[in-house]
Chain A
Amino acid sequence: MKIIVCVKQVPDTNEVKIDPVKGTLIREGVPSILNHDDANALEEALKIKDENPDTHITVITMGPPQAKEMLQECIAMGADDAVLLSDRALGGSDTWATSNALAAGIRKLGEYDIIFTGRQAIDGDTAQVGPQLAEKLKLPQVTYVREFAMDEGMITVKRALENGYEVLKLKTPCVLTAIKELNCPRYMSVRGIYKAAKFDIKVWNAADIGVDLAKVGLDASPTNVYKSFTPAKKGKGVIVEGDTAKEIADGFISDLKKKHII
């Protein structure tokens, strides 16, 4: 059984702060991490490997050379192979262009049974690359996977909905996107770490994966950033005025509704 797991190195956005005076982003000292949902995706693949030791797991990412560090950590968790797609020509790709590049990288990897991805990355929160990759590879997809089981090539998953879940059945090969309810990712192991540090991670450029340059990178991307800005600073708190409890509650709730908070 061959599994491909798509992962992304992201800044830990929980650690990002806004400069209270200038209103700008303070990025210094923010660590880069393996995206959370992607860790769930990798964990599910590793669980399959725990049960079926002949399973082979390849992690693949697109990013700058530093993303190798995250791939090493995936190896230290138990992945068998790792590929980094890295090329200036791929830089600035939106989700459409990213899925084109990943699809090309995965085609070069050859045969596979399941592609796991995280539902979304915490820096962009788009949740688009998984389904778009599935489309580019002409594979069936299930997003928001919270439970997974497999029996003789037939996969049964639970897909989370806002108010419950769907039980879905499909055959391999397919693309599944993981959410955190799916499992609890394991830690790197000490032995894994010593193996990973010396592991030879494959680095492929655009030419290696034979991707059409008109389909990747900033200029090929259909969407681009027009403006970006920080939200206005949270104002100082207010004491809600009112003579009766009803008036106070009224004033408070109508303000929440006006601001679309509820």
Chain B
Amino acid sequence: MDFNLTREQQMIKKMIKEFAAAEVAPIAEYLDAEAEFPKETVAKLGELGVMGMPFPEEYGGAGADYIAYIMAVEELSKVCASHGVIVQTHNALCCWPIFTYGTEEQKRKYLPDLLSGKKLGAFGLTEPNAGTDAAMQQTKAEDKGDHWLINGSKIFISGGGIAEVYVIMAMTDKSKGTKGISAFIVEKGMPGFSRGKKENKMGIRGSIAAELVFEDCIVPKENLLGELGKGFKVAMTSLDVGRLGIAAQALGIAQGAFDQTVAYMKQRKQFGKTLDKFQALAFEMADMKTRIDSSRLLLYYACNRRQKGLPSTVEAAQAKLACSETAMYVTTKAVQFHGGYGYIKDYPVERMMRDAKITEIYEGTSEVMKMVISGDIFK
């Protein structure tokens, strides 16, 4: 058992921390206010190799390990959770399924541009009537001999309209339930594929969520990803990876809000002393730190299992549950400790509290995480 970071991981942490402080922190408030996608910083992250971290160099990846990748998401999320989820969705939900299930031709075609960050990737599973109950897919893909014809819509799609490559789930055989779902690679610009409504969100406002609309969308035959009828597996295993990233995002938000609060408490005076001198508050900070650190251990443990190729579905669910609930708990306290100043936009904890909430919802709600964990207990 070794709790020390490797030299690579130390350097990744340092590099992302420097990048986040210089490039991301100054624009975080603006992105939130304007709900604008940070195109320029994402392009820079691509040049540095962050948009293709845990993938081999032969496809244009950076050849990093999972813990290093997770640390990158965590460090970015400390200052801006939108950046965290942009990196995470792209890596885990688009690059990963193509790398894992794609044919050699598909990998050669799509990965170099995705992993170098030249193109952004997205993932489409959720529908208006198929949220947690993902098997209720209504989007259909029909085999038209020389192409697939897709009809339907997807909602709340991170990067929708901005991404250029999408991994999309659609029913190829309704009668078979989840075994009738297949995955497809759909490109921006394919006939019949368009972006619908852009959502006005509570948090992570720099990450765009939009509806995707498929109206007689023509997708080439060779763009089926994985085997016919195995789309549900593609989606679920991708989400296993994605949960690690969301946990990292949540952890970063929690740590960022915690650090802000420490600095504020050392500065803010009431009753003639700074806030850190009030034991009732200091003890709560001790609780917060303990929850952050224990969540981090769960997360790194889950990543370590994935890195070693061991089963990690349950561990990833535990990590996401712990990290996201910690994020909500810590950011709520952080706002509380800032008092009235915490409720206004002068201090970033207000944004962090709004950003934190989604981590308990997307890529599987906390309730779904508990289904996974309890299912394992009573199997």
User: Which chain B residues in 164-186 approach chain A with CB under 8 Å?
Assistant: none
Interface contact B49-A187, CB-CB below 8 Å: no
Most chain B CB neighbours (cut-off 10 Å) among A69, A187, A188, A189: A187
Partner among B7, B18, B63 whose Cβ is within 8 Å of the Cβ of A187: B18
Closest chain A CB from B53 CB (angstroms):
6
Contact A197 B8 (CB under 8 A): yes
Of all chain A residues, which has the CB nearest B48? A189
CB pair A72 B48 closer than 8 Å = no
A193 at the interface (CB under 8 A from B): yes
- Enumerate chain A residues within 8 angstroms of B47, measured Cβ to Cβ: 189
Known: A190-B50, A190-B53, A191-B49. A76 touches B15 (CB 8 A): yes
A165 at the interface (CB under 8 A from B): no
Could you tell me which residues of chain B, from 1 to 30, have a CB within 8 Å of some CB in chain A?
Answer: 6-8, 11-12, 14-15, 18-19
B8 / chain A contacts, CB cutoff of 8 Å: 193-194, 197
A4–chain B nearest beta-carbon distance, Å: 23
**For chain A residues 167-220, which have a beta carbon within 8 Å of chain B?**
187-191, 193-194, 196-197
Our pick among A72, A189, A191 for the contact of B7 (Cβ within 8 Å) is A72
Chain A proximity of B47: nearest CB distance (Å): 8
Chain B residues contacting A44 (CB-CB under 8 Å) are: none
A193/B6 in contact, CB under 8 A: no
Q: Which of A73, A193, A196, A197 has the most CB of B within 10 A?
A: A193
A42 to chain B, nearest CB (A): 15
Q: Are A193 and B15 also in contact (CB < 8 A) when A72-B7, A187-B48 are?
A: yes
* Chain B residues whose CB sits within 8 angstroms of the CB of A189 once the complex forms: 15, 47-49, 62
Query: Interface digits, B91-103 against A, CB 8 Å rule (1 contact, 0 not)?
Result: 0000000000000
Is B373 in contact with chain A by the CB < 8 A criterion?
no
Q: Contact between B6 and A194 (Cβ–Cβ < 8 Å)?
A: no
What residues on B are CB-neighbors of A73 within 8 Å?
Answer: 11, 14
B63: chain A residues within 8 A (beta carbon): 190-191, 194
**In the complex, A69 Cα to B11 Cα: how many Å?**
9
B368 on interface, CB distance cutoff 8 Å: no
- Indicate if the CB atoms of B7 and A190 lie closer than 8 Å: no
Task: Indicate which residue in A69, A72, A187, A191 contacts B62 across the interface (CB closer than 8 Å).
Answer: A191
Size bracket of the B interface: 10 to 19
Please classify the interface of chain A as helix (H, G, I), strand (E, B), loop, or mixed, using the class held by over half of its residues.
helix
Given the known inter-chain contacts A72-B11, A73-B11, A76-B11, please indicate yes or no for A190 contacting B49, CB distance below 8 A.
yes
Residue of B nearest to A76 (CB): B11
A73, A188, A196 — most chain B CB neighbours (10 Å):
A188
B227 interface residue per 8 A CB criterion: no
- Mask, A61-79, CB within 8 Å of B = 1, is 0000000010011001000
- Interface residues as binary, A90-124 with B (CB distance below 8 Å gives 1, 0 otherwise): 00000000000000000000000000000000000
Query: In the bound complex, how far is the Cα of B156 from the Cα of A245, in angstroms?
Result: 63
Asked if B36 is at the interface of the complex by the 8 Å CB criterion, the answer is no
| B residues 327-343 in Cβ contact with A at 8 Å | none
Please give me the residue from chain B that is nearest to A192 by CB atom. B49
Closest to B19 in A: A187
Q: CA–CA, A197 to B53, complex, Å?
A: 16
Q: CA A193 – CA B62 in complex, angstroms? A: 10
Q: Does B64 contact A (CB under 8 A)?
A: yes
Contact B62 A190 (CB under 8 A): yes
- B129 → A minimal CB distance (Å): 40
Q: Which residues of B contact A72 (CB under 8 A)?
A: 7, 11
B5 to chain A, nearest CB (A): 11
Contact A197 B7 (CB under 8 A): yes
B293 within 8 A of A: no
Bound Cα distance A194, B7 (Å): 9
Q: Which of B12, B15, B68 has the most CB of A within 10 A?
A: B15
Contact across chains for A197 and B49 when beta carbons are under 8 A apart: no
Residue of A nearest to B11 (CB): A193
Q: How far is the CA of A177 from the CA of B49 in the complex (A)?
A: 31
B259 within 8 A of A: no
Scan B42-82; emit 1 where CB is below 8 A from any A CB, else 0.
00000111100100010000111000100000000000000
Q: Find out whether the CB atom of B57 lies under 8 angstroms from the CB atom of A197.
A: no
Q: Counting chain A CB atoms within 10 Å of each CB, which of B7, B11, B18, B57 scores highest?
A: B11
CA distance A197 to B63 in the complex (A): 13
Residue of A nearest to B44 (CB): A187
- When the two chains form their complex, are residues A190 and B18 in contact, meaning their CB atoms are under 8 A apart? no
Can you list 25 residue pairs at the A/B interface with Cβ under 8 Å? A69-B7, A72-B7, A72-B11, A187-B19, A187-B48, A188-B14, A188-B15, A188-B48, A189-B15, A189-B48, A190-B48, A190-B49, A190-B50, A190-B62, A190-B64, A190-B68, A191-B57, A191-B63, A193-B8, A193-B11, A193-B15, A193-B64, A194-B62, A196-B11, A197-B7
Supplied contacts A69-B7, A189-B49, 9 more A-B pairs, CB within 8 Å: A72-B7, A76-B11, A187-B15, A190-B15, A190-B49, A190-B64, A191-B63, A196-B11, A197-B11
- Residues of B bordering A, CB below 8 Å: 6-8, 11-12, 14-15, 18-19, 47-50, 53, 57, 62-64, 68
Closest 10 CB pairs of A and B: A190-B49, A190-B62, A197-B7, A188-B15, A193-B11, A197-B8, A189-B48, A191-B62, A189-B49, A191-B49
